[in-house]
Structure 1
Amino acid sequence: MFARAVIAAVLAAPFVAQSVFAADCSRTYTVQEGDWCDTISAAKNVSTYQLAVVNTGNIDSSCDNLQVGNTICLGTVGEDCTTTYVVKQNDSCDLIAQNYQLNTTILYTNNPQIDAECSNIYIGEVLCVAKSIAVPPPPAGSSLPAATIPATATPANAHPSTSASVPSSTSTDAGNDDDLPWCDEL
């Protein structure tokens, strides 16, 4: 019986080692006094989502358990987005995608924590704006990291479907369709 257990362990060892090394950390950071997840993300070009995913189990969902001197992972080999953008007031997903010449599918794929309406981005959040898929997938069996606006954060835009600048001549009166080009011909 013992011999079978030893043989099974020896045969399984390469597969266990391979799965451990499959997510090798490509960049690390030592936590400093005053750090929190978004400041680390902004300073080190790592998205808020990616930082949460690669540190699942080490950093809690509210990022209030960082310990000065601890080393955290910033990215993993082959899944490390270093092209980032810090969300500002009045940003929307469409505007960010347009400014970085991305289609929104890539933006949402690299930032799966963003809801379909783009209503949960917040000022100071760091998004991956790479032109190809660059982030690790969400961890299996747990809730999606970084998917809610932190209690201390301010939403970027109360109207996520609008862009940052709306011309002053645009009417918001739902009954007035005189300025809509496709309605002029009806």
Structure 2
Amino acid sequence: MFKFSALLSLVVAYASAVTLPLAGRQSGACAREYTVAPGDACNKISAAQNVSTFQLAWTNPTAIDQWCSNLRPEQVLCLGKEGKDCTDVHVVEAGDGCWAIYTGAGIPAETFFANNPNVARTCHNIYPGEVLCVASEVFDYST
């Protein structure tokens, strides 16, 4: 839970760093939705639905709290916005590092870090169970 809290804090910080208001960033149509089931958690949903943990938090800033502890059965979450929906993902395992993840996916480091703005360039803040985007297309989460 602490790790998701740190992730959501980074999402909020990222949103504050751009000049557009949060509501303006979220204005795209939802590309995919998911209905929460009993026992769901953010990383579990992300892994099962092929959506990065960052993207799940980014598309649902008012529906998911910083600990991902407020999910309730039958709650509908947006998984991705039109044109900003990474479905190529990697679930972090113990011992994974960013270099191995992005080279294994065949994408450049710049693409990996652009699609995962929550990940530090030193990669010290990824954790087992976190779901990362490994798409070759860059999704602009700043607009």
Q: Tell me: CA distance 1:113–1:121, structure 2 relative to 1, closer, same or farther (3 Å).
A: same
- Which 4+ residue blocks in structure 1 deviate beyond 3 angstroms? 19-22
Deviation at 1:61, TM superposition (A): 1.3
**Corresponding residue number in structure 1 for 2:124:** 119
Deviation at 1:136, TM superposition (A): 2.7
Q: Which has the larger radius of gyration?
A: 1
Give the TM-score normalised by the residue count of structure 1: 0.61
Aligned counterparts, 1:34-183, within 5 A: 34-134=39-139, 136-137=141-142
Q: Which has the higher contact order (CA 8 A, sep 6+)?
A: 2
For residue 28 of structure 2, give the secondary structure of its aligned residue in structure 1.
coil
Q: Deviations over 1:26-72 (max 9, x none)?
A: 10000000100000000000000000000001101110000111101
Q: Which runs of 5+ in 1 are unaligned?
A: 1-18, 139-186
Please identify which structure carries the higher helix content.
2
Deviation at 1:22, TM superposition (A): 3.9
Percent identity, aligned pairs only?
43
Q: Which runs of 5+ in 2 are unaligned?
A: 1-23
**Corresponding residue number in structure 2 for 1:14:** none
- Of 31, 39, 42, 2:36 maps to 31
Q: How many residues align?
A: 120
For residue 132 of structure 2, give the secondary structure of its aligned residue in structure 1.
strand
Distance 2:26 2:94 in 1: 40
